[in-house]
Structure 1
Amino acid sequence: HNVGAGGRGRIHPNQELMGLGAANIASGLGGGFPVTGGFSRSVVNFDAGARTPLAGVMTAVMIALTALFLTPLFEFLPKAVLAATIIVAVLSLVDLKAIHRVWVFSKSDFVAMTTTIMIVLGIGVEAGIIAGILVSISFLLAKVARPHFAVIGQIPGTQHFRNADRHQVLKSEKVLAVRLDEMLYFLNSHTFEDAVNQLLNTNKNLTDLVLLCTAINEIDASGLEVLESINERLDSQGIRFHLSEVKGPVMDRLDRVGFKAHLTGQIFLSHYEAMCALDPDCESNGHVRSARP
């Protein structure tokens, strides 16, 4: 990508893999050597001024001529000279500032990056890449298993609802609004249910619970069971369960199983609409403040 950015272009990995595959097929049919690519060779080629695929053709021609006629001249060339050429070229790809930036931005990404680097240097490229992938998958699963869950309230003078722990918001005593910032999967469905149950135990005067679904991109079978379980528990306590701002693909799946028919509440197009329908004070709070003269 650095090479592509330097040439104001874009590298297409799939296209490269298709090209390498076709080249290896042709090489196998013609009895040639396996074809591969490498960062070091790409950087050397780019630093030499290559900008089009014609550079690859010229490189192939020069290699063929060298192999046929010039090999005696390179017989006594120290390998250290060739290694130095590669090292100097690859040094331009080393970005220590990026490592610090990743550390500041995301500790999990930093762990995955440093794990990959250390194993590549200590064992090999394949082992390092596999380790990096496994570490990244582990962090991803951990994140999905512990999703961000927030009680939200209305920002005074607006139609916006934000995390009550981060903003000064207005909350209704009878209508509880919550937001789940993750897909509802088997990994986190029961964590979400426990969080809702805990809120129910601490809010005894509720008549309605509204789940803001803007961040829920996917719901699996376990997530559906949890929604049905929450709906049944709320119904037994005389509390209606509502959804707001459900995304189209998610709504399609809920419609296929008839979830809406069993829902004790409603499904609202916007969260502001839901709160205005359930809480009389919401509409008056939502009038946008006029600008000061």
Structure 2
Amino acid sequence: MHNLNKRLLAQQIQAWLQEDVGAGDVTSLSTIPVASKSTGIIHVKQDGILAGISIAEAVFAEVDPKLQFKAEVMDGTPVTKGTIIATVTGSTRSILIGERLALNLLQRLSGIATKTHAFTAVVADLPVRLVDTRKTTPGLRLLEKYAVRVGGGHNHRFGLYDAVMIKDNHIKGAGSITAAVQAAREAIPHTMKIEVEVEDFMQLEEALQVGADIIMLDNMPPAQMKEAVAVIKSRAPHIIVEGSGSVSPQTIRVMAETGVDIISIGQLTYSVAALDISLDLNARKESTFA
């Protein structure tokens, strides 16, 4: 599962199932005979990049360990409309209980992987790394950041606890970039880096003088960003430079060509269309679902 925390994932799946199933699936329990067996064919209804197949398997396993799940396609694979990505066989009731949660996760994560792949494809020939942000769905950060990796992107900090990121409100609260960086340096372990967000050359100069480890150039026009990168690399080539702000598939290449090392993109996770994926019971497996 590409470094997913399996124990945390299992806890989340249990909570999500409780939210959906509650005391029981009254429709399936009242209409489907207890001995009924079926095979669910999971297939995609539009082109994209698959993400979450092992997570869907974990959902069905949590519902009923006797269900037999067979993945036909692995995460990270480009899929086209009609592709069968998995089958699940066993109790009809159990399949229907797990269906919606499994599909919800597959659709959401595949949508993120698809969008991430679209961004990375534009700059694949350039030495830049695309990263996500903390603009994730509450409760889904673990999986949404996983989907970014599946789509060819990388992860920024996971939460507030694993890196110092001094932004405009921190600067206002501390009084200055210098005060914020110096206070952070005294409080954190030597193994932790400090990133500072700057919006103009005055702030950039202060961040350089106080010794930031990473500098984020936020919402700068391309020409200004390129000049800022040149200043940083000439004076402190060890500093990692991040570009951010209003990034789209149409603008990302221009930003990448400024020479930044990293581009952070919030919309990889916060404004994503789910990939359309369905489950059909007892369908002919040779069907293309076109």
Q: TM-score, normalised by structure 2?
A: 0.27
The structure with the largest alpha-carbon Rg is: 1
Larger relative CO (CA 8 A, sep 6+): 1 or 2? 2
Name the structure with the higher strand share.
2
TM-score by length of 1: 0.26
